[in-house]
């Protein structure tokens, strides 16, 4: 094959490979859809994406090998078949994406209109910043120190819904949609993150840093349709909310995923070799930021890197004692 003939088939060959890549992506994703169920959630989406990528790579490699053997006339004929098909698939995917986005925006507007019809029990006020650290730190600043309930775990309002509703004492046999909300939070899409535009004056969440997408409430009571959450981490005020408007994690799940923890009393709770009160002490851990690795009951496995020389890489500390936290946790550092 002469250099002239090679250059003349270069452009059709590139177009042939790109169209084949598009077809492979869609074919792989189509096959992947049959291997997942709706219950798989985000994991199912990742599996479908993997199938699509795998299919695209395989078909693209086959197309490259085929293009090397085909003449320019054959490539052009193939392009007249797979080219329009690739364009149709891309156009259909783009239309579907725009349709889903429009539906999401429409739901947002409906939620905003729904909020305007609510009658709040108190005037709206800016949200008070609570803490990026353990909720027990908020209590120490009050004149009358209360014994905070540890609760069942942490819950995050789904801010994309637009409005987060608060209810009076619920009927456990009924769903929240059958009752009128007494107050609410309203979220709005900002330039870089979702922000709170209005909130009740008593709203002081356990953790709030919206530029990191962080809004957490302590869960006190849990039922099939309802949650009782602490809406003021200073005085312990609680409200009932729709369970479907939050994502919930238990304390063991939450404490194992925070960034670091600090031991409150290193004398009575040092870093031990095993999750036993009589196990050998590896280090005191005073003023140390410990990275959590795993949870076993009231014990937390932490990394011992940097605590002392010539010790095992992991140790154990108690992270709670009944309703009392024995560590401070840090979400961002």
Distance CA 14, CA 20 (A): 10
Residue 145 falls inside a structural domain: yes
Looking up tokens 């492979």 gives 24
Check whether residue 262 and residue 245 sit in a common domain.
no
Check whether residue 162 and residue 213 sit in a common domain.
yes
User: What pLDDT is attached to residue 269?
Assistant: 93
Range of the domain at 274: 258-330
Of 250, 266, 285, the domain-final residue: 250
- Could you tell me if 311 and 282 are in contact, meaning their C-beta atoms sit under 8 angstroms apart? yes
User: What pLDDT is attached to residue 147?
Assistant: 59
Of 67, 84, 114, the domain-final residue: 114
Residue 125 falls inside a structural domain: no
Number of domains within the chain: 3
Check whether residue 279 and residue 311 sit in a common domain.
yes
Distance CA 45, CA 38 (A): 10
Check whether residue 197 and residue 294 sit in a common domain.
no
Distance CA 86, CA 23 (A): 6
Check whether residue 236 and residue 203 sit in a common domain.
yes
User: What pLDDT is attached to residue 66?
Assistant: 87
Residue 157 falls inside a structural domain: yes
Residue 126 falls inside a structural domain: no
Distance CA 23, CA 83 (A): 10
Distance CA 31, CA 15 (A): 24
Residue 122 falls inside a structural domain: no
User: What pLDDT is attached to residue 329?
Assistant: 93
Check whether residue 143 and residue 192 sit in a common domain.
yes
Distance CA 277, CA 18 (A): 63
Q: Is 177 exposed, middle or buried (0-12, 13-18, 19+ CB in 10 A)?
A: exposed
Distance CA 66, CA 13 (A): 9
Per-residue confidence in pLDDT tens, the chain, 333 aa? 555 555 677 888 888 889 888 888 888 888 888 776 654 555 667 788 888 888 888 988 988 888 888 888 888 888 888 888 888 988 988 888 888 778 767 766 765 565 455 444 444 444 444 445 554 444 443 344 455 678 999 999 999 889 999 998 788 888 888 888 899 999 988 878 888 998 999 999 999 998 888 999 999 999 999 999 999 999 899 999 999 999 999 999 999 999 999 999 999 999 999 999 999 998 888 888 899 999 999 999 999 887 776 677 889 999 999 889 999 999 887
| CA distances to 242, 317, 325 from 321, in Å | 30, 11, 6
292: its two tokens = 């959590």
């Amino acid at each position: 094959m002469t250099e002239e003939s090679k250059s003349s088939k270069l452009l059709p060959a590139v177009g042939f490979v790109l169209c084949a890549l598009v077809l492979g992506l869609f074919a792989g994703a189509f096959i992947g859809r049959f291997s997942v169920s709706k219950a798989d959630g985000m994991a199912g989406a990742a599996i479908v994406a993997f199938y699509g990528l795998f299919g695209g790579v395989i078909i693209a490699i086959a197309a490259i090998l085929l293009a090397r053997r085909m003449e320019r006339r054959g490539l052009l004929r193939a392009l007249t078949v797979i080219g329009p098909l690739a364009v149709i698939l891309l156009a259909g995917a783009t239309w579907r994406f725009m349709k889903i986005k429009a539906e999401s925006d429409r739901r947002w507007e409906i939620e905003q209109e729904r909020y305007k019809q609510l009658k709040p029990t108190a005037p709206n006020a800016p949200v008070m910043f609570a803490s990026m650290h353990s909720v027990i730190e908020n209590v120490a600043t009050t004149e009358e120190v209360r014994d905070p309930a540890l609760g069942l775990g942490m819950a995050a309002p789904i801010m994309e819904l637009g409005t987060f509703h608060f209810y009076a004492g619920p009927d456990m046999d009924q769903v929240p949609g059958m009752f009128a909300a007494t107050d609410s939070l309203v979220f709005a899409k900002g330039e870089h993150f979702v922000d709170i535009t209005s909130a009740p004056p008593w709203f002081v969440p356990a953790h709030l840093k919206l530029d990191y997408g962080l809004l957490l409430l302590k869960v006190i009571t849990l039922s099939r349709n309802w949650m009782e959450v602490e809406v003021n981490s200073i005085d312990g005020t609680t409200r009932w909310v729709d369970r479907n408007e939050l994502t919930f994690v238990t304390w063991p799940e939450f404490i194992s995923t925070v960034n670091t923890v600090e031991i409150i009393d290193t004398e009575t709770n040092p870093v031990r070799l095993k999750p036993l009160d009589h196990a050998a002490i590896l280090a005191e851990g005073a003023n140390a930021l410990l990275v959590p690795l795993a949870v076993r009951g009231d014990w937390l496995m932490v990394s011992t890197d940097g605590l002392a020389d010539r010790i095992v890489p992991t140790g154990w500390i108690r992270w709670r004692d009944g309703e009392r936290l024995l560590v401070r946790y840090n979400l961002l550092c």
